[in-house]
């Protein structure tokens, strides 16, 4: 295989370019997407969850809005944070763990939007709020991007 290095052949130490030392890093951020050396996307998903949760918490301060208005704000403010560059990092066949964590980000605002009990099933919340489940939304984005 030409052009590919085996794991043992990967450079381990710092690299010197034009007299400047560049230290290797386990991750690289390009256009807001965090790449790791194995392309597992764990850090990218964690950052997306962290940012979306922050936005969702900020939205809980909004009062006296109808559920339709709250859903519209959720779709405009929280979902784009989660979905950003999902066509790059989301693999529908492999990302079961990521989806479980991303579902929790969607669940909390839906409970708030519908004024539902915490024990209500996520699928019920999504149906009542007329919101696509996370796995279907990300799959749909992947289909339309190609």
Range of the domain at 83: 39-145
Tell whether the model's pLDDT for residue 22 goes beyond 70: yes
Phi, psi of 33 (to 5 degrees): -105, 130
Domain contains 4: no
CA nearest neighbour of 67 among 119, 115, 137, 131: 115
Kindly report the average pLDDT of the chain as a whole number: 86
Total domain count, the chain: 1
Phi, psi of 141 (to 5 degrees): -60, -40
Per-residue pLDDT band for 11 (boundaries 50, 70, 90) equals: low
Domain contains 34: no
Per-residue pLDDT band for 1 (boundaries 50, 70, 90) equals: very low
Reported as a single tens digit per residue, the pLDDT across 62-78 is 888 898 999 999 999 99
């Amino acid at each position: 295989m030409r052009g590919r290095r085996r794991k043992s052949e990967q450079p381990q130490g710092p690299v010197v370019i034009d007299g400047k030392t560049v230290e290797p890093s386990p991750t690289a951020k390009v256009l807001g997407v965090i790449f790791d050396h194995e392309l597992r996307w764990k850090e990218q998903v964690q950052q997306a969850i962290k940012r979306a949760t922050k936005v969702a918490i900020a939205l809980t301060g909004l009062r006296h809005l109808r559920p339709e208005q709250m859903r519209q704000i959720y779709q405009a403010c929280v979902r784009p944070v989660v979905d950003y560059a999902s066509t790059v990092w989301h693999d529908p066949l492999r990302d079961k763990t990521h989806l479980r964590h991303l579902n929790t980000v969607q669940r909390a605002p839906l409970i708030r939007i519908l004024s539902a009990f915490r024990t209500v099933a996520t699928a019920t919340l999504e149906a009542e709020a007329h919101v696509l489940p996370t796995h279907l939304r990300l799959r749909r984005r992947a289909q339309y991007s190609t």
